[in-house]
Each structure stands twice: as C-alpha cells, then as structure tokens.
Amino acid sequence: MDTLNNVINSLKIIGISIAGIAFVVLMIKIAVEPEMKGRYLKLTKHLLLATILITVSLTLVDIPKSYYGDKIAIVDEKESKSTIEELKDKDCQGRETLNIDGKWYVVTDSGKKIAGLDDKDSLDDVSFVGFYSTGKVVDNVCFIRLFSESQGTFKGYFADIKYYRDSDGMIFSRDTTYPEYQRLKNEFNEKKRQEEEEKNKENNSTSENTEGGGSANNGG
C-alpha cells in the first residue's frame, strides 16, 4: 500500500506543479497579448477545472484505503490478544491471518512459484513471468502481507510482500536467497524431526506407565 500512496502523492504534486506553471504562463500571455484575453481566460478556466477534477479523483482513490485502514491499523502496532478466529472475521475477505513477532499479517496468495536468478538474488514471484535459474525454484508458496495494508478497496494488491510460507508451513523473509532458504529449510526439518522424536518418547512413556499400572492391578 505504500507504493500506491507514493504514486498518488507523486501524481498530485506533478499535476499541481504543471497546472501552476501553465497558470502563470497564461497570466503572462494575457498581460502581453490583451487582444487574446478572452481565449486565455477560457483556457485558464479549463485548466483550473481540470486540476480540481484530477486532485479530487486521486483523493477519492485513496479514501477507501484510508477509511478501512485506519480502523484496523491498531492491529499492526500492538500485540493483539484476539484469537485467529476472531481476527479472521475482521479481514475483508475472510483470509487466513497470522501473528508474526506481535504483528498481524494476512495470507493473500497461495500456490505461487518463487525463484532466484543466482545465489545472491532474493527469491521473487515468477508465477507468470521472470528470469530465474531452474535449480533455484520453490513451488506452492503463499504470500504474506501486513494485515493493515491488505484491507479496503484493493485487498492488499499494492501492499508489499513481507514473508513467504512454503508447502511445509515454514515462514521466511521476502528477502531470502535460495541458499539461505535451503539452510533455513534444513534447520526447520531438523527441528521438526526433534519435536516428533520428543512427542514419540512422551507417547511411549505414557503407554508404558499405563501398561505397568494395569499389570500391577492384575497382579494384586
């Protein structure tokens, strides 16, 4: 959404600047060529009308985003106590929401393909087109954007991607390179394996205690 704001603000500044310069030129023309005053006044009137219409149009584009964004921006700035189910009801499209480091995000896209051109190139969206190495591709990826930037009229279309999530559920930064992704993936898989081992140990221990208790009761 920052990109959209920058574009709108730039267009406003450019439009007003051009209109201002044109207005000064027309005023000078009226003073230098009084016989053409009627024509220049007509042009001035049209110029002012066009400036007003352009400014109002660009402002109207920004109003829906500001209206919805301001109501939800607080979620982005504090560690909300809302559950995922409660927050999901507030998303404009009922999409999946995530809390990462105290900030709320929305999963805006899924089934995407990201890839890098070389080992130093960050992984980018190449779902439709892009230059990349076939050996540096990650398929079936979700895009994660800030919750507060993914509401309103554009539903996050112009919002920057902050994180990716792969098919195994690993979340990693948008700026990750392919070698970094591989390292993070290995760490993720190792951690997952250790958690599964711990879980199996706990289950086995529980089963042994249950069987031991049953045997003792039968012996008595």
Q: Considering only CA atoms, give the Rg of the chain.
A: 29
Phi/psi for 113 (5° steps) reads -120, 130
pLDDT of residue 174: 92
Helix axes 2-32, 37-77, angle to 10 degrees: 160
pLDDT of residue 62: 60
- Report the DSSP beta bridge partners of residue 100: 103
pLDDT of residue 41: 81
Q: What is the model's pTM?
A: 0.52
Question: Which amino acid would we find at residue 114?
Answer: I
Rounded CA separation 141/25 (Å):
55
- Report the DSSP beta bridge partners of residue 29: none
pLDDT of residue 4: 60
Longest dimension (CA), the chain: 122
pLDDT of residue 187: 94
pLDDT of residue 68: 46
211 CB neighbour count, 10 Å cutoff? 10
Q: pLDDT 10s per residue in the chain (220 long)?
A: 456 666 667 777 777 778 778 778 878 888 888 878 788 788 888 878 877 777 777 666 665 555 444 433 333 334 344 444 444 445 667 888 888 888 889 998 999 999 998 999 999 999 887 778 888 999 999 999 988 888 876 777 778 899 999 999 999 999 999 999 999 999 999 999 999 999 888 888 877 666 665 555 555 5
Tokens read off for 206: 């529980």
- Nearest to residue 162, comparing CAs of 115, 111, 108, 87? 108
Rounded CA separation 44/112 (Å):
51
Contact 75, 148 (CB under 8 A): yes
Residues making up the chain, counted from first to last: 220
Secondary structure class of 100 (helix, strand, coil): strand
List the domain boundaries for the chain.
2-77, 84-181
Tokens read off for 94: 């009922």
Torsion-angle region of 175 (φ positive above 0: left; ψ -120 to 50: alpha; else: beta): alpha
pLDDT of residue 112: 94
Rounded CA separation 70/96 (Å):
20
pLDDT of residue 46: 80
Question: Which amino acid would we find at residue 88?
Answer: K
Contact 205, 198 (CB under 8 A): no
Contact 94, 106 (CB under 8 A): no
Q: Positive or negative CA dihedral for 80, 83, 89, 91?
A: positive
Rounded CA separation 21/29 (Å):
12
pLDDT of residue 28: 86
